[in-house]
């Protein structure tokens, strides 16, 4: 039974030093509460010099805040304690920017507090909500992403599935695999493929065609059969998936979608990298949810999962050489090495993947033609590591000598310490053996510009190596990490900041351009291979409309589904360098994704907007068709 609730009201001000959060903690229980402290976690953070009204003793670590009522205060049943925090680090713009989780501590006992949505004056709310129109189909066929070429001259309602009675065992196995995919995503729909002929099915004939590239396929529909030609295993599976989508559309919305009777599809992807990134540190996703996300990617013919396995808020991958990374570093909350952050702060919040889990997930991905690129975020975003192993920090570096943009103190692995590289050697050895991918993503993002400047070891390294500050130290670190990866036969992928402070030799390096769209061109001009993932368009945690009630983050502004769909990653690039743009990626950052309902609201339909930009030529995209198709997308 919830006995305490927390309402919060945001009073905006141009000057953040006078912007206010006005709190009201109400006792809905039967007992008077006294001598308690309140802890809450909120993305709208109190400034270091915030002032309090009717409260005292504020401490803060990143999003975690703790304070108490004035001494002697008693909170009687039905009554509220009203207090104010004035002076904020960042403005609130949406209802989930306030406290996400809270608890009170009374004589050592922790009582969960139910957090209400953040509220604000009506004039700060545009009232706008996410808008995906009903849309309009131009052809009555459900395929996402849209093929490069399709011509259908007749439609039929007589077919309900395809049959492969003549196929080889390999072809039948492939069709059975796509049957499985379809059934997992839509358990209530019929299977698209049968293995014996029947009156309601069309024969499906598969043909390997050496003239087609690995990922290419073509389908020819004629009166009594469909012929699927394919270049390689991915092309074969993509063709089968398209047939499964056609069957699913015709089943679930027969008023809109049908089977082709005669016609052709010829198709191959625009980019080789059609990625989704998933942050499992801020909020964990169970193994079965990761498996299902892979199914969702395969349904949209996406072929990369960048798995963000570590961050300040938790380390999620079992490492045999450092078991404490998960036994301790994967937990936050009362009594843990780290305080609670984001959602669920009253309880111990934890989650990690064993190496056996990872092997299962990787093998599922391989089956679905998806490459999992693991991300170990370094040197920044390393609070979970440094709290687990404080000995990795320069002991002479003062506490709180710098803070990350998320407010974590001293959260970057020190580039001047042997311990750092010994640690990464062992971690990457295990990571390399678990993931067959060509790349390991080493993060490289958001190292605060004051990092390490007060570390005597870093100062010594700077003078020995003639490095001028944080960014050059960071580039030095990247160069060493790259050598470690090379030993394990892996190439380096990272966020765009890997190019800062002089960067590293671009040969074989792949960078994610995220901070703004212009970065894609800047990195390409510096010689790097690039994946376009601008926060403004491809960050699926960004709000989809300006209205206050819309959930999500807003540092990169509003990212409407239509604008995500319309974004063209190659705009402004030199024709001669287009080959350095390797693809596109949707990023699922999870600070706000406390449950699957929010996950689905944020991720769909934008994830397939990115899938379609990755697959389909820009001139073949059509927002109205995509919007119509989105009515029957799968969800987590
Ligand atoms: C920036 S993008 C981050 C993440 C946050 C994200 C939230 C990037 C490389 N760093 O740490 O989760 O914004 O949108």
**pLDDT at res. 167:** 85
First and final CA of the chain: distance in angstroms? 29
With the most atoms of ligand 1 within 8 angstroms of its CB, the residue from 306, 446, 474 to mutate is: 446
Q: In this structure, which topology does domain 273-615 adopt according to CATH?
A: TIM Barrel (3.20.20)
pLDDT of residue 199: 82
Contacts of 154 (CB under 8 A, 6+ apart): 260, 261, 262, 263
Question: At the fourth CATH level, which superfamily is domain 149-267?
Answer: Chitobiase/beta-hexosaminidase domain 2-like (3.30.379.10)
The Å distance, Cα 87 to ligand 1 centre, comes to 24
Give the Cα separation of 16 and 13 in Å (integer): 6
Q: What does the mean pLDDT of the chain come to?
A: 97
DSSP 436-461: --SEEEEE-----TTTTTT-HHHHHH
pLDDT above 90 covers a percentage of the chain that reads 97
What does the pLDDT read at residue 90?
96
pLDDT of residue 200: 84
Give mean pLDDT, residues 384-393.
98
- Asked if residue 496 has its Cβ within 6 Å of ligand 1, the reply is no
- Closest residue by Cα to atom 2, ligand 1, is 514
What pLDDT digit, counting tens, does each position of 426-444 carry?
999 999 999 999 999 999 9
Contacts of residue 299, Cβ cutoff 8 Å, sequence gap at least 6: 144, 181, 185, 241, 245, 634
pLDDT digits (tens, 9 = 90+) for 543-583: 999 999 999 999 999 999 999 999 999 999 999 999 999 99
Tell me whether domains 4-124 and 273-615 share a fold.
no
pLDDT band at 246 (very low <50, low <70, confident <90, very high): very high
pLDDT range class, residue 536, cuts 50, 70, 90: very high
Pairing status of strand 20-27 against strand 56-61: unpaired
- Tell me what pLDDT residue 165 has: 87
Please tell me the predicted confidence (pLDDT) of residue 509: 98
The answer to whether the CB of 539 is under 6 A from ligand 1 is yes
Per-domain boundaries in the chain: 4-124, 149-267, 273-615
Q: What are 364's two structure tokens?
A: 């599922």
Ligand 1 pocket test, pick from 445, 493, 588 with the greatest ligand atom count within 8 Å of Cβ, gives 445
**Nearest atom of ligand 1 to the alpha carbon of 381:** 11
Query: What CATH class is the domain 4-124?
Result: mainly beta
In degrees, rounded to 5, the angle at the alpha carbon of residue 112 between the alpha carbons of residues 107 and 116 is 135
Look at residue 630 in the predicted model and tell me its pLDDT. Answer: 98
- CB of 495 within 6 A of ligand 1: the answer is yes
DSSP state of 22: E
CA 511 from centre of chain: 16
CA distance 566 to 569: 10
Alpha-carbon separation of residue 3 from 25, 30, 224, 573 (angstroms): 10, 8, 67, 58
- Given this model, what pLDDT does residue 198 score? 85
Q: Is the pLDDT of residue 1 over 80?
A: no
Q: Which atom of ligand 1 is nearest to the CA of 591?
A: 12
Prior bond of 419 cis (ω within 30°): no
pLDDT for 158: 87
- Ligand 1 centroid to Cα of residue 241, in Å, is 32
Whether the pLDDT of residue 2 is over 80: the answer is: no
Asked if residue 5 has pLDDT above 80, the reply is yes
For CA atoms 541, 545, 551, 555, give the dihedral sign.
positive
Give how far Cα 581 sits from Cα of 495, 537, 575, Å: 15, 17, 11
CA pair distance 220, 207, nearest whole angstrom:
11
What is the total residue count of the chain? 636
The answer to whether residues 536 and 556 touch, using CB atoms and an 8 Å cutoff, is: yes
Probe target for ligand 1 pocket from 342, 535, 602, with the most ligand atoms within 8 Å of CB = 535
């Amino acid at each position: 039974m919830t006995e305490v609730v927390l309402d919060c009201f945001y009073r905006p001000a141009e000057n953040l030093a006078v912007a206010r959060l006005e709190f009201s903690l109400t006792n809905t229980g039967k007992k008077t509460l006294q001598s308690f402290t309140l802890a809450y976690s909120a993305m709208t953070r109190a400034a270091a010099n915030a002032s309090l009204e009717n409260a005292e003793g504020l401490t803060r670590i990143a999003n975690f805040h703790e304070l108490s009522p004035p001494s002697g205060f008693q909170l009687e049943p039905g009554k509220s304690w009203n207090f104010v925090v004035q002076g904020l680090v960042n403005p609130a713009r949406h209802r989930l920017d306030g406290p996400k989780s809270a608890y009170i501590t009374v004589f050592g006992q922790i009582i969960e507090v139910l957090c209400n949505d953040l509220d604000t004056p009506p004039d700060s709310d545009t009232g706008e909500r996410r808008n995906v129109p009903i849309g309009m189909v131009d052809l009555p066929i459900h395929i996402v992403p849209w093929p490069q070429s399709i011509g259908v001259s007749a439609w039929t309602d007589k077919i309900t599935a395809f049959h492969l009675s003549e196929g080889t065992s390999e072809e039948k196995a492939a069709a059975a695999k796509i049957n499985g995919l379809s059934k997992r995503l839509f358990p209530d729909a019929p299977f698209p493929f049968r293995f014996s002929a029947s009156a309601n099915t069309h024969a499906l004939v598969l043909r390997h065609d050496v003239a087609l590239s690995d990922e290419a396929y073509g389908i020819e529909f004629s009166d009594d059969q469909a012929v699927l030609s394919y270049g390689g295993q991915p092309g074969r599976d993509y063709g089968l998936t398209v047939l499964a989508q056609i069957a699913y559309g015709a089943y679930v919305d027969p008023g809109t979608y049908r089977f082709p009777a005669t016609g052709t599809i010829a198709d191959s992807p625009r980019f080789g990298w059609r990625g989704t990134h998933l942050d499992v540190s801020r909020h964990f996703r169970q193994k079965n949810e990761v498996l299902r996300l892979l199914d969702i990617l395969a349904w949209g013919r996406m072929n990369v999962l960048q798995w963000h396995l570590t961050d300040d808020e938790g380390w999620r991958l079992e490492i045999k050489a450092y078991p404490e990374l998960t036994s301790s570093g994967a937990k936050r909350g009362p009594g843990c090495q780290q305080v609670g952050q984001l959602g669920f702060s009253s309880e111990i919040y934890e989650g990690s993947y064993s190496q056996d889990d990872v092997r299962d997930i990787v093998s599922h991905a391989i089956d679905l033609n998806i490459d999992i690129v693991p991300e170990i975020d370094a040197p920044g975003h390393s609070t979970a590591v440094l709290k687990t192993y404080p000995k990795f920090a320069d002991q002479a570096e003062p506490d709180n000598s710098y803070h990350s943009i998320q407010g974590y103190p001293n959260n970057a692995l020190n580039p001047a310490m042997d311990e750092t590289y010994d640690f990464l050697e062992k971690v990457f050895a295990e990571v390399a053996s678990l993931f067959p991918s060509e790349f390991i993503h080493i993060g490289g993002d958001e190292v605060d510009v004051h990092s390490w400047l007060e570390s005597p070891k870093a100062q010594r390294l700077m003078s020995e190596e003639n490095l001028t500050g944080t960014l050059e130290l960071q580039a030095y670190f990247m160069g060493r990490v790259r050598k470690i990866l090379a030993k394990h036969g892996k190439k380096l992928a990272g966020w765009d900041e890997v190019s800062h402070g002089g960067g590293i030799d671009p040969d074989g390096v792949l960078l994610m351009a995220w901070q703004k769209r212009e970065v894609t061109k800047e990195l390409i001009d510096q010689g790097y291979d690039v994946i376009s993932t601008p926060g403004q368009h491809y960050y699926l945690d960004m709000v989809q409309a300006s209205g206050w009630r819309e959930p999500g983050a807003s540092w990169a502004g509003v990212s409407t589904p239509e604008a995500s769909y319309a974004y063209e990653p190659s705009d402004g690039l030199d024709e001669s360098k287009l080959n350095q743009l390797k693809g596109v990626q949707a990023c699922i950052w999870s600070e706000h994704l406390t449950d699957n309902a929010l996950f689905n609201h944020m991720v769909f339909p934008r994830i397939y907007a990115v899938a379609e930009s990755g697959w389909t030529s820009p001139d073949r995209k059509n927002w109205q068709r995509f919007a119509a198709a989105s009515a029957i997308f799968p969800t987590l």
